[in-house]
Amino acid sequence: MDILLGVGTLAVTALIFAWGFAAHRRSKPAGWTRMPGGSMLFCVAMTLALPIGIGFLIKAVAAPSAQLAGLGLAPVAVVAALVALAILGVPMMLRSVRADQVAQVVTLPDAGGATPA
């Protein structure tokens, strides 16, 4: 069961990180990102969640046969859905930030039609 907890925790951590990163990096950031307490709470949650997920995976590696013996189909399906959502959702959220940043690039008008030498 620890292997599922570890993989699930890491998948949710990746999703929350991508959501928070996108909220901070948009051209008009979300309101909670401008509050120092909101941003710090987000950073603390990310700092705590990643090692917890890695710790569950390390604990599962210590006794893999005991971890795999009692797995049912329902928990595996839930974790597989979380991983699929993370694989699809994280790049989508990060792509929205990149598209927003590219849209902010302004081209300067040509200075009298002069070509650079």
Distance CA 53, CA 103 (A): 36
pLDDT of residue 51: 92
pLDDT band at 109 (very low <50, low <70, confident <90, very high): low
Q: What is the pLDDT of residues 76-90, one digit of tens each?
A: 888 899 889 888 888
Using CA atoms, how far apart are residues 22 and 110, in angstroms rounded to an integer? 34
Mean pLDDT of the chain: 80
Does the reported pTM lie above 0.85?
Answer: no
Per-domain residue ranges for the chain? 2-101
